[in-house]
Homo-oligomer: A and B are copies of this chain.
Amino acid sequence: MNLPLFCPIPISDPERIQLAHGEGARLTRRLIREELLAAFSNPFLAPLADAATLPDLGGRLVMTTDSSVVSPLFFPGGDIGSLAIHGAINDLAVSGAEPMYLSVALILEEGLPMETLRRVIRSMKDAAQACGVSIVTGDTKVVPHGEADQLFICTTGIGRLRPGADLGAHRVRPGDRILVSGTLGDHGLAILGSREGLEFGDQLCSDSAPLHHLIAVLLSSGANVRFMRDATRGGVAAVLHELVEQSGLTARLYETALPVSPAARGACELLGLDPLHIANEGKLVAVVAEESADAAVAILQSHPLGIHAAVIGEATSALPPQVLITNPFGQLRVIDEPSGAPLPRIC
Which of A's residues lie within 8 Å of B, judged by CB? Answer: 1-2, 5-8, 10, 18-20, 22-29, 47-67, 69, 71, 90-92, 94-97, 101, 103-107, 110, 136-139, 141-144, 147-149, 152, 154, 156-158, 161, 168, 192, 195-198, 229-230, 232-234, 237-238, 241-242, 245, 279, 337-339, 341-345
Give A139 to B84 CA distance when docked, in angstroms. 13
Question: What chain B residues lie within 8 Å of A344 (beta carbons)?
Answer: 8, 19, 22, 110, 142-144
- Other-chain residue from B1, B8, B95 in contact with A50 (beta carbon distance below 8 A): B95
CB-nearest residue of chain B to A7: B341
**What are 9 A-B pairs at a CB distance below 8 A?**
A5-B196, A8-B342, A19-B342, A23-B342, A24-B338, A25-B237, A49-B168, A53-B95, A67-B107
**A168 lies within 8 A of B92 (CB):** no
Q: With A1-B196, A149-B143, A158-B158 given, is the CB distance from A50 to B65 under 8 Å? A: no
> Of the candidates B90, B91, B143, which one forms a contact with A345 in the assembled complex, judged by CB atoms under 8 Å apart?
B143
Q: How far is the CA of A26 from the CA of B19 in the complex (A)?
A: 38
State whether B54 touches A141 (Cβ < 8 A).
no
Taking a contact as CB atoms under 8 Å apart, the answer to whether A53 and B57 are in contact is: no
Closest-by-CB residue of B relative to A92 is B51
Which residue of chain B is the closest to A22 with respect to CB atoms? B344
Contact, CB under 8 Å: A24 / B63: no
Interface of A is mostly: mixed
Most buried by B among A5, A48, A192, A232: A5
Partner of A67, one of B136, B141, B196: B141
A62, B54: Cβ atoms closer than 8 Å: yes
Residues of B within 8 Å of A7, CB to CB, are 341
A63 to B138, CA, bound (A): 10
Min Cβ gap A112→B in Å is 14
Copies of this chain, count: 2
Cβ B105 vs Cβ A66 within 8 A: yes
Is there contact, CB below 8 Å, between A23 and B233? Answer: yes
Q: Which residues of B contact A343 (CB under 8 A)?
A: 6, 23
Determine which of B2, B65, B104 lies in contact with A139 in the assembled complex, contact meaning CB atoms within 8 Å.
Answer: B65
Residues on B with beta carbons closer than 8 Å to the beta carbon of A23: 233-234, 338-339, 342-343
Partner of A61, one of B144, B158, B198: B158
Bound together, the chains give a CA A96 to CA B207 distance in angstroms of 41
- Knowing A20-B339, A152-B148, say if A61 contacts B50 (CB, 8 Å): no
Given contacts A61-B56, A66-B105, A105-B65, A51 and B147 within 8 Å (CB-CB)? no
CA distance A73 to B154 in the complex (A): 20
Contact B69 A27 (CB under 8 A): no
Say whether A101 contacts B148, CB under 8 Å: no
How far apart are A95's CB and chain B's nearest CB, in angstroms?
4
A233: contacting residue among B24, B55, B198, CB under 8 A: B24
Q: Contact between A63 and B51 (Cβ–Cβ < 8 Å)?
A: yes
Contact of A6 among B49, B63, B192 (CB under 8 A): B192
Taking the closest CB of chain B, its distance from the CB of A229, in whole angstroms, is 6
Q: A51: which B residues are within 8 A, CB to CB? A: 62-64, 91-92, 94-95, 97, 157
Tell whether, in the assembled complex, residue A24 and residue B232 are in contact, meaning their CB atoms are under 8 Å apart: yes
